[in-house]
Structure 1
Amino acid sequence: MVKIFKITAILEGISYLVLFVNMLLIKPNNLPLYKSLLYPIGMSHGVLFIGYVVLALLITKSQKWDFKTLSIVLIASLLPFATFYVEKKYVKIPQSV
């Protein structure tokens, strides 16, 4: 489950950046191609965001996160690039016995 969270964190961060760039290109240029891409990119980002939050809540106990750490992990989903930081700093894959 932790590996899935790490992958989801990376994909959520990438989708957030792609969505952000796409939205920046729509406003000033009013390009139809970018408008047609906005829905699928937004939908995939929404699914990844929900997955990120749900998985973060599910792995809280196995990662031994306290309330402060969990709050940081959840707030990171709202900031660009922050999920990459969380994935590197806070998520530890358990060692096999």
Structure 2
Amino acid sequence: MTIQIVVTFGLVPERLEPTLAAFQELAEHTRREEGALRFDVFRSQEEEHTVVLVEEWADQAAIDLHMKEEYTRAFLGKVDGAFTDPARVHRLVEIGG
């Protein structure tokens, strides 16, 4: 069974453009990972300073490897201080599944 995750981020308005660019770059790299089945970045229509990641991973090992990648660490450095609050991570479970 795959792991599905939704993560929401509130962005500091003054850091919006470079942070969105950093998310795009992270997505481009992540989509090439063998265990990354889905890694999409969205911006909320209702809250312009909110970014939402929708992810699907083959397993926990794929997530662990992703977090160790150089470009993931570089992303974290680029967005340091760019969030209004901690990211909200939601691991999803199917209702009735």
TM range (shorter): 0.3 to 0.5
| TM-score between both structures, scaled by the size of structure 2 | 0.36
Larger radius of gyration: 1
- Structure with higher helix content: 1
